[in-house]
A = this chain, B = another copy of it.
């Protein structure tokens, strides 16, 4: 049965309607001991060092091929925790809903949140729900903040990167951004492309377990794409990066769409891959390790850190030629996550 009820300002009042929305939808969908207490916060067991990360999600449209803002909000924060060397454990969940949102849409998003949280092994421990007037928001925004336990035996940091280190991507580049674009108004090209949004924590924790301190740095190249991530690394480390275009994995339909739209896939957002900078000696071993896993099956070694490049990212083209890949300077695809 479809729920035709709509979100009203009363659902954000803190009174009876808020309580009903929480009890009948949010707590009933995300049923756990933490939330059932309906306290203003949660009490957690923490051992040793904690990793914390926050993200607000404003993706438009909030339902897109391959996912919706709900799983994106869980996976995005889970992945950020993993990139810092953490094992994600707990997550907070905060909604800003626009008056007039169908409660059935909220239910759909809650189901995805629940599924994504279960998949990645995190518990939603506390939350908040606000409502803004129609025209003062855009259907649904979500903030998630994650807390994880720092893995022992890993040591990640841009300051650990050295000349010659290998640059690896764990999968195809640009898929999420093009999937969102394919759904956007006025850009309907023929494609069955789905967002690559997924949790990467088990894969990343596995790599860190296997290779320990030889993994120097990890980052998920979301907004700004692989090029912005590598430019940040180059600028912060004072070392450059050299990439070989022929080695960069990309789905054929993403490549075609980028060509058609005049986009460079290196700038397009990703939600299901990570960039790893690792010791040269383990570069190919890490790729082999990743390729054994479904989420890493398209992993590739795409280049190396090069101290002679003066903090620049340089791409060797497929048909020859070299060019500098800059950081994204303006806005390419707004509201991609």
Q: Quick one: given A14-B222, A40-B83, are A58 and B96 in contact (CB under 8 Å)?
A: yes
- Distance of A96 Cα from B143 Cα, bound (Å): 10
Contacts of A269 in B (CB 8 A): 14
Per-position contact with B for A84-107: 1 when CB-CB < 8 Å, else 0?
A: 111000101111100000000000
Contact status B52-A41, CB under 8 Å: yes
- Distance of A49 Cα from B126 Cα, bound (Å): 15
Partner of A40 from B53, B143, B334 at Cβ < 8 Å: B53
Interface centre among A54, A86, A130, A335 (most CB of B within 10 A): A54
Interface size on A, residues (CB 8 A): 83
Partner of A56 from B83, B95, B332 at Cβ < 8 Å: B95
Q: Which of A123-172 contact B (CB under 8 A)?
A: 125-128, 130-133, 135-138, 141, 143, 145-147, 150
Contact status B41-A328, CB under 8 Å: no
Contact status B228-A15, CB under 8 Å: yes
Contacts of A128 in B (CB 8 A): 54-56
Contacts of A145 in B (CB 8 A): 52, 54, 92, 94, 143, 145
- Distance of A86 Cα from B218 Cα, bound (Å): 33
Cβ of A17 < 8 Å from any Cβ of B? yes
Binding-face segment, A5-13, A113-121, A181-189, A295-303: A5-13
Contact status B331-A93, CB under 8 Å: no
Q: Quick one: given A80-B41, A236-B38, are A328 and B55 in contact (CB under 8 Å)?
A: no
Partner of A51 from B42, B133, B219, B228 at Cβ < 8 Å: B42
Q: Quick one: given A12-B331, A94-B143, A236-B38, are A224 and B43 in contact (CB under 8 Å)?
A: no
Additional A-B contacts beyond A45-B50, A55-B94, A57-B130 (10; CB < 8 A): A15-B327, A46-B48, A53-B126, A54-B92, A54-B127, A94-B145, A96-B96, A132-B334, A136-B137, A143-B145
Chain A residues proximal to chain B, CB less than 8 Å: 8-10, 12-19, 38-58, 60, 80-81, 83-86, 90, 92-96, 125-128, 130-133, 135-138, 141, 143, 145-147, 150, 219-220, 222-225, 228, 232, 236, 267, 269, 326-332, 334-335
Q: List 10 A-B contacts (CB under 8 A).
A: A13-B332, A15-B327, A42-B52, A45-B50, A52-B147, A53-B92, A56-B94, A57-B130, A58-B96, A137-B138
The 8 closest A-B pairs by CB, nearest first: A14-B223, A15-B328, A14-B224, A41-B53, A145-B145, A54-B92, A143-B143, A46-B46
